[in-house]
Amino acid sequence: MMKKIDKYYPIIPVLVAYAVLLGYGLVNPGKWQLVSQLAFYCTLGQAFNLFMGMTGYVDFGYVAFMGVGTYGMAVSIYHLYDKGLGLWIVVIGLVLGALFATLLSLAVGAVALRLRGAYFAIATIGVNEGFRYLVEGARIWNGSEGMIFTRHMKKAMGRETAMALSTFWADILMFGVAILAAALTLVYMRNKVGYALTALREDEDAAKVMGINVTKYKIIAFITSAAMAGLLGATAWALKLNYVYPADVFEIHYTVEAIIIVLLGGAGTLLGPIVGGLIYGISKYYLSIVLPGFQLLIFAPIIIGIIVLFPEGTVGVLKKRLMGTPLQKYVI
């Protein structure tokens, strides 16, 4: 039988991968932009995989959670900058970002998680677009004009700190979110939640008949995934860019990127989003140098190819190959 500590071995390759990425970025300052972009994709994949990979439901409105997370940080900086809180603003912003995302996910989950398959996808697309147009239409948080808070950040914590925060520490915080999301995925996988969700993914009705409270576990995964997205939005977008526009942060494109990453790596695996994020990020970076403007044209047929030919993704194939070898316990 598996020993208690053995259960959590697969976190080691995750940590190694992020450490290598971070180390590469620190050694080559010129490539820091690429590294932070790769980390963003990996984190996006990790957070998205928590829900899509484990339940098999496709949330086409996922970026909405990142959007409200961004707004959480933005609202905190925009309204509290003159209260003399210093760096606590960032902490409050992170909490607010996660909180907003959680609240939205509760509202969405209450409606959408009653639905299945196609209806769920339609409802979640609707939520993302609906929320965007509510922000624009009712002029919540400045409406379509968005918020620009570079000045506020400098005033709140001084010029040097603000600069360091948006160029370096935002990315480090993002690495933290990535590792947190990976750890949560592993904990869920190795506990009751994961087993229940696997049963649900294979056959929802059968799982229900077995006495599994599928709604409860779906909501747990949904909220966790949304909160991670909120933190990602707060760090990777609000802290790093210092502005937020509804048209940018509710762009469905990011949801699609998340889906591609998870599928490339393998849905429902722990390492999948990292592998997928690295493949996607690196190839997108070099494609944009070699063939600018053609990235989507090349990626769209690749998605179809993966779904039709290798539905289990890179890590899925790798897992099959490593079955029975000593490496097996590190790769899930």
Partner 1 sequence: MLLEQLSGNLLQGLVLGAVYGMATMGLSLIFGVLQVVNVGHGAFIMVGSFTALMMFQGMGIPPVFAIPVAMLIGMGLGMLFYYGAMKPLVSPSGSGIRKMSPKVLGMAGGGFVGMLILMWIGSGLFKLNVAIYIFVGIIFIYGFFLYIYGGRRQDKAPELATLLVTFSLGVILEEVVKQIFTSESRGYNWDIGKLDVGITVFPYPKLLAAFGSMMIAILLYLWFKKTRAGMAMRSVVEDDVGARVCGVDVDWQYALSFSLGIGLTVTSGVLLTMFIPVGINPYMGGPYTLKAFVIAVLGGLASPYAAFFGGVVFGLLENGSYTLFANIPGVEPFAMTRFFSFVMLLVILLIRPTGLLRAK
Site of interaction with partner 1 (CB under 8 A): 52, 56-58, 60, 111-112, 114-115, 117-119, 121-123, 125-127, 129-130, 133-134, 136-139, 143-144, 252, 256, 259, 263, 267, 293-294, 296-301, 303-305, 307-309, 311
Q: How far is the CB of 319 from partner 1 (least distance, A)?
A: 18
Residue where the block lists tokens 């609202």: 75
Could you tell me the two tokens for 154? 């400098």
Our CB check for partner 1 shows the closer of 58 and 77 to be: 58
Q: How far is the CB of 307 from partner 1 (least distance, A)?
A: 5
Our CB check for partner 1 shows the closer of 39 and 127 to be: 127
Q: Of 229, 252, 227, which is closest to residue 66 (Cα–Cα)?
A: 229
Our CB check for partner 1 shows the closer of 8 and 133 to be: 133
Q: How far is the CB of 8 from partner 1 (least distance, A)?
A: 28
Query: What's the alpha-carbon Rg for the chain, to the nearest Å?
Result: 20
- Which helix (DSSP H) or strand (DSSP E) does residue 304 occupy? helix 295-309
Could you tell me the two tokens for 315? 């890590």
**How close are the terminal C-alpha atoms of the chain, in Å?**
17
Helices within 56-203 (DSSP H only): 63-80, 88-112, 117-137, 150-157, 159-164, 170-189, 192-202
Q: How far is the CB of 290 from partner 1 (least distance, A)?
A: 12
Q: Report strand pairing: 243-244 vs 147-148.
A: antiparallel
Our CB check for partner 1 shows the closer of 139 and 216 to be: 139
Our CB check for partner 1 shows the closer of 147 and 174 to be: 147
Q: How far is the CB of 311 from partner 1 (least distance, A)?
A: 7
Instruction: Please state the φ and ψ torsions of residue 212, each to the nearest 5 degrees.
Output: -85, 130
